[in-house]
Structure 1
Amino acid sequence: MDPGLIWILVGLALLAAELLLPGVYLLWTGIAAIGTGLALLLFAPGFAGAVLVFLVLLAAGIGLSLKVRPRGGPSHRVNAPEAGLAGRHAVVVSTEAGGLRVRLGDSDWPARLPRGVEMPEPGTLVRVEAVDGTLLVVRPEAPRAA
């Protein structure tokens, strides 16, 4: 069997494996193998040339993927307002010496108040303003006018 066809078949097998496995590790290797197979069929560069073509194509693919990947978008920012906690309402469940705890959804969270804000009573509705590590920064909701 022609070495170029072997490279192409290996590249196709790597692309098929990429569909089954998470990540993009095999994508660039498969594409580089297919490109190497095509180069072997068209130019017959020999073993050293085939290895060089494969390495150049692999490096170019990885470089391209690093250049076009998203950086620092909302999906990469934990505890950002986009994460869905800021802006939600919670209820104060305790104000003991251990600190403030609020119920948000079906979970209790440790919380703190911004400076200068008076400690609310249990049962008070609060709004999550931010997230500080594992603490929610909350502010009591102002009573609404009737």
Structure 2
Amino acid sequence: MEPGLIWILGGLLLLIAELGLPGIFLLWVGLAAIGTGMVVLAVLPPFPAVVAIFLGLLTAGIALALRLKARRPAVRVNTPDAGLVGRHGMLLPMEGPELRVRIGDSDWPARLPADVKVPEAPLRVRVEGVAGTVLVVRPIA
């Protein structure tokens, strides 16, 4: 079998394996292998050159991925304030010592700013901030 086709087939297998595994490392290895296979099909360089081509393409792919990752702002996932500030909810009637707010299908412990008296529930509120897991809410006028 042609060496270039073996490189391309190996790269395709790595890309398929990437679909089932977490992360994106195999993507760059697979793309480097496919690129190496295309060069080998076109030129048929000696083996040390083939290894250098593969390593060069792999290094370029990883450098590109790191550069793209550095440009992207960090996304905070699974933090209490991720997407909650600015949302509207309903202040629930007090059933214990703390206020609770329903946002979507979740209930959150809440507190009001110091300048706001505890209103009668139910009342629409807007989330102004998050302190730990406690939402700081203000009634909507």
The letter of the residue matching 2:117 is E
Q: How many residues align?
A: 137
Unpaired segments ≥5 residues, structure 1:
none
Residue 47 and residue 13 in structure 1: after superposition, are their counterparts in 2 closer, same or farther (change >3 A)? same
Deviations 1:106-135 (A, max 9, x none): 332101222322223343332222333322
The letter of the residue matching 1:13 is L
Alpha-carbon distance between aligned partners in 2 of 1:62 and 1:133, rounded to the nearest angstrom = 37
Residue 44 and residue 105 in structure 1: after superposition, are their counterparts in 2 closer, same or farther (change >3 A)? closer
The letter of the residue matching 2:44 is A
Alpha-carbon distance between aligned partners in 1 of 2:133 and 2:102, rounded to the nearest angstrom = 14
Shift of 1:90: 1.4
Deviations 1:16-47 (A, max 9, x none): 33345454322211110011122323333333
CA contact (8 A) 1:92 1:120 kept: no
Higher mean Cα deviation, 124-133 or 33-42?
A: 124-133
Q: Does 2:57 align with 1:54?
A: no
CA contact (8 A) 1:90 1:105 kept: no
Q: Which residue of 2 aligns with 1:129?
A: 128
Shift of 1:84: 5.0
Percent identical: 55
SS in 2 for 1:94: coil
Higher mean Cα deviation, 16-25 or 59-68?
A: 16-25
Residue 2 and residue 105 in structure 1: after superposition, are their counterparts in 2 closer, same or farther (change >3 A)? closer
Q: Which residue of 2 aligns with 1:68?
A: 68
Alpha-carbon distance between aligned partners in 2 of 1:12 and 1:58, rounded to the nearest angstrom = 15
- TM-score of the pair, normalised by structure 2: 0.76
Higher mean Cα deviation, 24-33 or 10-19?
A: 10-19
The letter of the residue matching 2:8 is I
The letter of the residue matching 1:113 is L
CA contact (8 A) 2:3 2:40 kept: yes
SS in 2 for 1:129: strand
Residue 8 and residue 105 in structure 1: after superposition, are their counterparts in 2 closer, same or farther (change >3 A)? closer
The letter of the residue matching 1:62 is I
